[in-house]
Structure 1
Amino acid sequence: MFTPCPTARSQELADRVEAFVRETVVPYERDPRNGSHGPSADLVDELRALAREAGLMTPHVLADGEHLTQLETAAVLKRSGLSPLGPVAVNTMAPDEGNMFLLGKVATEDQKQRFLTKLLSGHARSAFFMTEPAEDEGAGSDPSMLKTTARLVGDEWVIDGTKTFITGADGAEVGIVMARTDDGDQVQASMFLVNLPNPAIRIVKVLDTIDSSMPGGHSRIAIEGLRVPASAVLGEVHKGFEYAQIRLSPARLSHCMRWLGSVTRAHEIAAAYATRRHAFGKRLIDHEGVGFMLADNLIDLQQSALMIDWCAGVLDSGSLGTTESSMTKVAVSDALFRVADRCVQVMGGSGVSRDSIVEQVFREVRAFRIYDGPTEVHKWSLAKKIKRIAMEGDYRAGR
């Protein structure tokens, strides 16, 4: 179901990750510690201890600190996603995977020692504090609406604001806080690294959401009088929006990689069910309505795998890949939702029962169509680019 691995090292890693997830992680899917707000801290620790023992902790970052290419990363992360618990176990999950990537690109050596090292080892989790409540007219899909402020008072920054849907904040030890640092003339933002927990960063509520795969769930956060030194600034002051772009394109693509794995597994389960189950004198798969749904699944999965690899190649060329990652996120999230929906339909009552992982995959992928930018926002952005190119006369159709 996956495209071939691009290199020998990625093939070896992908094979090991797949075997580990299928044989070791999958049995934990029914563990009672896997709750509505994600796996508990002790379940995360247990899974990661097993991953370390297997030599598979953070497999996309090599022992010398070198990252796999995006194309190689795709081969590995697709396999890690074969269970919703797979990325948690091997430390390829959101938001940590994106945060580690950003810190590796932007953080100082001291910041890497203090924050990145413990994330890479899987001994700590992180949270990215950007999204703000809609009722406050805060930043969501439009980051320029950022309301959280950071004021320089003496030699410290004082940060105040409200955040929401902050993944993994409950239990995180590393925080990246996005806040406005402009003088009011033009919206500018900076990022700040914070040790967690911190009394000035309060979890108001862990929200009940449709998905349940990420440790700590998604929280509403109040930041009140958070004081951090100048050394807490990630990179340079006022470059928060620029750094967000460095993080967002690869992070969007990583979501596609992981959920392709999960939906591939859902398809395997649905296909096995349709082959085993009989109705009206023959196997379900022999009924055209069912067989065609599974055939459509195969097409959507293969197209998704190819689009992920295409976008990964663009990122590996050195491009930010903003347009390509938007296209891929839209196409893959919509295609994977269609596949997950068909899997539920093929399995009938079994597909909506929590006795099967298919039900959870359906919920997770439905949320994915919103997370990291809703489909409509990405299409709007693409349409603006199409308009700009057309108005500049670069489209030659009809000449």
Structure 2
Amino acid sequence: MDLNLDSRSESFRQRVREFVKDRLIPLESDRANFDEHENIAPALLRTLREEAKAQGLWCLQLPESAGGQGLPFTGMVACYEEMNRSIFGPVVFNSAAPDDGNMMVMCKVATPAQKEWWLEPVIRGECQSSFAMTEPEEGAGSDPGMTKTRAERVGNDRWRITGRKWFITGAGESKRFIVMARTSDDPRKGLTAFLFRDTDPGWHIVRRIPIMGPEEHGGHCELVFDGLEVPDENVLMGVGDGLKMTQIRLGPARLTHCMRWGGLGRRCLEIGLERAETRSAFGQKLADKESVQMLLGEAAMQLDIGRMLTMRAAWKLDQGDFARKEISTAKIVVADALHRAADTALQLLGAKGYSRDTVVEWIYRYARQARLVDGASEVHRMVIANFLRREAGGFFAWGHHG
């Protein structure tokens, strides 16, 4: 694995970094630039998105044939990290979840007709999309096999969907949806993915669920399906291929979370270090105190470990590997590293860090979800343990050798 970026990826990284430094970070200090849910105001977002498009920084993750820039996963690691040095970053470049993962999987598995009506408006930034898998208690969470929402045949060419979903990111604003539903009781082939529009009848939003952290545009919503009908041509992949589709989607999507979280962690340490270098107490700069150096050193080390694990998983994805254990390992470590970096910065800032005078408080609240979203850390530890049991000594192989 070569940690040097190819020249094209490095060029994009530098351009993204400059855009974030010059256009995005300065906007964070003015509350007028936020909406009521603590995200970037929609009108400002539209302006910045046009600027990102004009500079050729739009959809770095997608193939050029689809309107993106065709970066490899290793290049995405570096660019996504730079994007999320600003809390406004990923959505400006159309690289925020859940659109990010939805677009990538649709590029891989959707039919040409599905791409035309579902995918292309999302790529152009004309609308948002949501992935409706998670369900209320007793239903699907980290285990898609627990899905209770059902799709039943209606006539020869349609499906009727009934059930409930919740914590569906962006659903309050989304115009395009993927919903997971059970079409049989087969443990491997019992789930199917269906595509629909927000204007289709037979479903509604019950509520926008209040959460601890700042929200994505459209929030995290609870949905009821009470007769949504979907034609056969809007089945994604095939009937019974839902579990396979989630595996294709969720692996890369989990890793892009890690890429972005690395940028948030870096931003926290930048703010914390600046405070430590400029603030004096008891006749000594904070940065010269051993206890502060321990805090900064540990936080920086954990972030760097997370970056290396993220890059390793990205490299394996670029080689055509599913990188399941590598992605799970990165997900656990980076989630913890982000929270440590935010906590360290807040501690060094003192009361100012607990206030809303800096973005650290925003990031601190946001960071707590990292150990839950796209599979709790405990679930990913189980994944790793199962690989260890199955592979035995091969678990620690160098490269492709035993």
TM-score, with structure 1 as normaliser: 0.92
By how many angstroms is 1:44 displaced? 3.1
1:128-207 matches, within 5 Å, as 128-134=131-137, 137-154=138-155, 155-182=157-184, 188-207=190-209
Which residue number in structure 2 is paired with residue 109 of structure 1?
112
Q: What does the per-residue CA deviation read over 1:228-256, in whole Å, with 9 as the maximum and x for residues that have no partner?
A: 11111011110100110111110010000
CA contact 1:88–1:214 (8 Å) conserved in 2: no
Which residue number corresponds to residue 17 of structure 2?
Answer: 18
In the alignment, the residues of structure 1 paired with residue 142 and residue 38 of structure 2 have an alpha-carbon distance, to the nearest angstrom, of: 23
* Counterpart-to-counterpart distance in 2, 1:185 and 1:306: 35
Q: Tell me the residue number matched to 1:387.
A: 389
1:82 is the counterpart of 2:85:
yes
SS at match of 1:309: helix
Native 8 Å contact 2:306 2:334 kept in 1: yes
Once the two structures are superposed, what CA deviation does each residue of 1:25-46 show, in whole Å capped at 9, x if it has no partner?
Answer: 2233234333336444434323
After superposition, give the CA deviation of every residue in 1:139-164 in whole Å (9 maximum; x if it has no partner).
00111110011111112111111001
Counterpart for residue 46 of structure 1:
47
> Is residue 69 of structure 1 aligned with residue 107 of structure 2?
no
Q: How does 1:1-399 map to 2 (within 5 A)?
A: 6-29=5-28, 30-32=30-32, 33-36=34-37, 38-61=39-62, 63-65=64-66, 67-134=70-137, 137-154=138-155, 155-182=157-184, 188-390=190-392
Give the drift of 1:197.
3.9
Task: Give the distance between the partners of 1:80 and 1:368, measured in 2 at CA.
Answer: 17
Q: 1:279 to 1:394 in 2, by over 3 A?
A: closer
Q: Deviations over 1:315-362 (max 9, x none)?
A: 111111111111110111112211211111111111111111111111
Aligned amino acid, residue 72 of structure 2 = T
Task: Letter of the 2:177 partner, please give it.
Answer: G
SS of residue in 1 equivalent to 2:338: helix
Distance 1:17-1:197 versus aligned 2 partners, 3 A rule: farther
Secondary structure of 2:196's match?
Answer: strand
Contact 1:102 1:246 in 2 (8 A): yes
C-alpha deviation, 1:54, in angstroms:
2.8
Residue type of the alignment partner of 2:151: A
What do you get for the CA RMSD once the two structures are aligned?
A: 2.0
Distance 2:103 2:283 in 1: 54
User: Are 1:41 and 1:171, in contact at CA under 8 Å, matched by a contact in 2?
Assistant: no
2:20–2:83: 8 Å Cα contact kept in structure 1?
yes
Alignment partner of 1:163: what SS? strand
**Separation (CA, whole Å) in 2 of partners of 1:162 and 1:366:** 25
Kindly provide the amino acid, as one letter, of the partner of residue 6 in structure 1.
L
Contact 1:39 1:213 in 2 (8 A): no
Post-superposition Cα deviations, 1:67-112, rounded to whole Å, max 9, x if no partner, equal: 3211111121111111121001111100011000100110001111
Aligned to 2:399: none
The 3 A distance-change label for structure 1 pair 384 and 4 is closer
Using the TM superposition, give the Cα deviation of residue 200 of structure 1 relative to its aligned residue in structure 2, in angstroms: 2.4
Looking at structure 1, the residues matched to 147 and 216 of structure 2 have their Cα atoms a distance apart, in angstroms, of: 25
**One-letter code of the match for 1:77?**
Y
CA distance, structure 1, for counterparts of residue 241 and residue 191 of structure 2 = 6
Residue identity (%): 38
User: Is 2:20–2:85's contact at 8 Å kept on the other side of the alignment?
Assistant: yes
SS of residue in 1 equivalent to 2:226: strand
Given that 1:159 and 1:227 are in contact with CA atoms closer than 8 Å, whether structure 2 keeps it comes out as yes
Quick check: 2:131–2:168 contact (8 Å CA) kept in 1?
Answer: yes
2:312 corresponds to which letter in structure 1?
Answer: W
Cα distance in 1, alignment partners of residues 194 and 335 from structure 2: 31
Unaligned 5+ residue runs, structure 2?
397-402
Alpha-carbon distance in 2 for matches of 1:9, 1:31: 36
- 5+ residue gaps, structure 1, are none
CA distance in 2, matches of 1:386, 1:367: 27
Tell me the matched-pair count.
390
Contact preservation (8 Å) 2:189, 2:242? no
CA distance in 2, matches of 1:64, 1:157: 32
CA separation of 1:329/1:185 partners in 2, compared to 1, >3 Å: closer, same or farther?
Answer: closer
DSSP 3-state at the match of 1:359: helix
